Amino acid sequence: MSLQDKAKAIAKNIEGKVQETVGNITDNPKQQAEGKAKQIQAEAMNTAENIKDKAKNFIDKL
């Protein structure tokens, strides 16, 4: 996983957590849902990069 992609995923996750927390504090379901969605997107970004890394490692071993 490149450092840049990892940083983007971390930033997206933090952004989502902050947005969800603001939604909880203000009792705003839309903000809560959008925050959760960003966290899920960050998780998907991490998963995709991990798969790329594993595929690259597998190919390098061939």
**Cβ–Cβ under 8 Å, residues 50 and 1:** yes
pLDDT mean across residues, the chain: 94
Q: Record the tokens describing residue 25, joined without a space.
A: 């504090």
**Cβ–Cβ under 8 Å, residues 10 and 42:** yes
50 or 24, greater pLDDT: 24
pLDDT per position as a tens digit, 30-47: 999 999 999 999 999 999
- pTM for this predicted structure: 0.84
- At residue 6, does pLDDT exceed 90? no
Region at 2 (left for phi over 0; alpha for psi -120 to 50; beta for the rest): beta
Instruction: Tell me the percentage of the chain whose pLDDT exceeds 90.
Output: 81
Determine the residue type at 43: E
Cα 33 from chain centroid (whole Å): 15
